[in-house]
Amino acid sequence: MTVRNVLLERPSPDFNYGFTIRHVAVYPPQNGLDECDGDVIGDGFVSELRLAPIHSAVISRVEPLSYAAEAGLRCGDRIVSLNDAPLSELSYEQICEIIRTRVVGFIRLLRFIYKWSNQHNYHKVA
């Protein structure tokens, strides 16, 4: 797994960056943290919390010869932050709005390295 910082630029918002994202939301256990770590429970107050989902975005398509391809974005890259704002704190709508309206953006990517196996499947290496 590698982390990359990418500067993504385009002439104006009228030009597409040339990539598509898929929204990913991870939801904590329904009854709070008690399924994860019994030591955190204490007097049981944690089970009353309603924890918000953690949002993320994965690049699902990069158009050849696009601004995104030129910057080095690849399918499967997970966007960790946009302009230093962690995606975990943004809704899908906010993520799309930032991408649509900015001419220049700093994107932090998380890239998993895969290798080809004899079974013709990809396996995560790091």
pLDDT tens digits, residue range 25-84? 777 766 555 455 544 444 444 444 556 777 788 999 999 999 999 999 999 898 888 888
pLDDT tens digits, residue range 73-94? 999 898 888 888 888 878 888 8
d(CA 13, CA 74): 21
Cβ atoms of 53 and 90 within 8 Å: the answer is no
Candidate CATH numbers 1.10.220.10, 2.30.42.10, 1.10.260.40, 1.10.357.10; the one for domain 2-124: 2.30.42.10
DSSP 84: T
Extents of the domains making up the chain: 2-124
Q: Which residues fall within 8 angstroms of residue 111, CB to CB, at 6 or more apart?
A: 1, 2, 3, 4, 74, 76, 77, 78
d(CA 25, CA 109): 17
